[in-house]
């Protein structure tokens, strides 16, 4: 069930700006045990919600890797999103919708908000923290910010910072959104056509050439109007537009770009060296968004960490699709 926590005091952002009346939407599954030692905190990816049992159904549920009969599972929606947590379509203290005036949110800001939620829920220590992609950005940050509270860290298809490659892809998406004049009209549906194009760009990095050639083949009978890959791109753009808004999408890609655990901590190596959690890094062999060198930086600098490769035909999206391989890797690590 969706729940919402309202933060009474002003919430200070890393930029120095403040948000008033911040709301954090979250889901919990299961219950805390007597020793409060069964907490699994799952951090969601870019456009997901806090309903992790829905979007990660292969890993969360009865008899699965993260079982609510054994674990107290928490997933909270991030700042800037549109699934109940304060974002660009929320109202400011004057009752005016933010739209473009919503301040920049960093990954650290997201984690700071969720630390407030942790305290509200009476959670003292987190037995397992994990997530894929930007979800692991949050998990990494949290494992540095509250190093003594995180027992096991599982990083999946991610990196210790946003690379130039990541940022370039995100800026291409934002250019598509800015190219849609309706984005500047301060209307909830503003920028939707631009966001559809942005999503199509993103999908190319979430998959890869082999995945597209396998699932959307160009048959000799196809005409210009019947190309499967083209219709697939349009379909995915429409699908996102039906559940998301361009202002949150724009904000969250900027949050993605902010990720650098070494900022203000003396660099990546020093920051990663502060992690005390037992750490598993899961890399996907066909991931072009976070290729192997991104995983190796973490492996080389997080004390005692373990790197596990899994195969997927579907690139970065393997963290959403390869349930069996992920379950095997995670269970083996935790056992």
Q: 288 burial class (0-12, 13-18, 19+ CB within 10 angstroms)?
A: middle
Residue among 50, 90, 133, 143 flagged as catalytic = 133
Distance CA 198, CA 125 (A): 38
Q: Any alpha helices (H) in 179-283, and if so which ranges?
A: 192-206, 209-215, 228-241, 246-257, 268-272
Select from 242, 257, 244, 252 the least CA-distant residue to 102. 252
Select from 293, 334, 328, 329 the least CA-distant residue to 308. 329
Residue among 109, 287, 294, 317 flagged as catalytic = 287
**133 is known as an active-site residue:** yes
Residue 60 is classified by DSSP as B
Contact (CB, 8 A) for 325 and 65: no
Contact (CB, 8 A) for 106 and 261: no
Residue among 51, 255, 316, 317 flagged as catalytic = 316
Pairing state of beta strands 150-156 and 126-132?
Answer: parallel
Distance CA 41, CA 152 (A): 10
Residues that are catalytic: 133, 287, 316
């Amino acid at each position: 069930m969706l729940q919402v926590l309202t933060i009474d005091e002003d919430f200070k952002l890393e930029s120095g700006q403040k948000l008033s009346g911040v709301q954090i939407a979250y889901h919990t599954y299961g219950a805390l045990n007597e020793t409060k030692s069964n907490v699994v905190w799952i951090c969601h990816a870019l456009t997901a919600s806090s309903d992790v049992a829905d979007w990660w159904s292969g890993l969360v549920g009865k008899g699965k890797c993260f079982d609510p009969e054994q674990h107290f599972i928490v997933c909270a929606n991030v700042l800037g999103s549109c699934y109940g947590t304060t974002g660009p379509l929320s109202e400011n203290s004057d009752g005016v919708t933010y739209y473009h005036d919503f301040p920049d949110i960093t990954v650290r800001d997201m984690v700071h908000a969720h630390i407030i939620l942790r305290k509200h829920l009476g959670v003292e220590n987190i037995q397992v923290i994990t997530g894929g992609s930007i979800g692991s950005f949050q998990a990494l940050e949290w494992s540095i910010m509250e190093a003594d509270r995180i027992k096991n860290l599982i990083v999946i298809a991610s990196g210790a910072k946003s690379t130039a490659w990541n940022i370039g892809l995100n800026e291409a998406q934002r250019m598509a959104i800015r190219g849609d004049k309706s984005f500047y009209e301060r209307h909830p549906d503003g920028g939707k056509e631009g966001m559809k194009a942005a999503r199509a760009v993103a999908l190319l990095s979430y998959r890869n050439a082999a995945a597209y050639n396998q699932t959307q083949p160009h048959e000799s009978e196809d005409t210009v109007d019947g190309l499967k890959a083209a219709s697939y791109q349009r379909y995915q753009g429409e699908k996102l537009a039906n559940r998301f808004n361009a202002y949150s999408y724009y904000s969250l890609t900027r949050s993605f770009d902010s990720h650098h655990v070494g900022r203000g901590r003396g660099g990546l190596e020093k920051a990663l060296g502060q992690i005390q959690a037992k750490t598993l890094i899961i890399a996907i062999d066909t991931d072009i968004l976070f290729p192997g060198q991104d995983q190796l930086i973490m492996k080389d600098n997080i004390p005692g960490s373990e790197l596990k490769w899994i195969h997927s035909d579907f690139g970065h999206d393997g963290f959403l699709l390869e349930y069996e391989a992920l379950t095997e890797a995670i269970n083996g690590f935790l056992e």
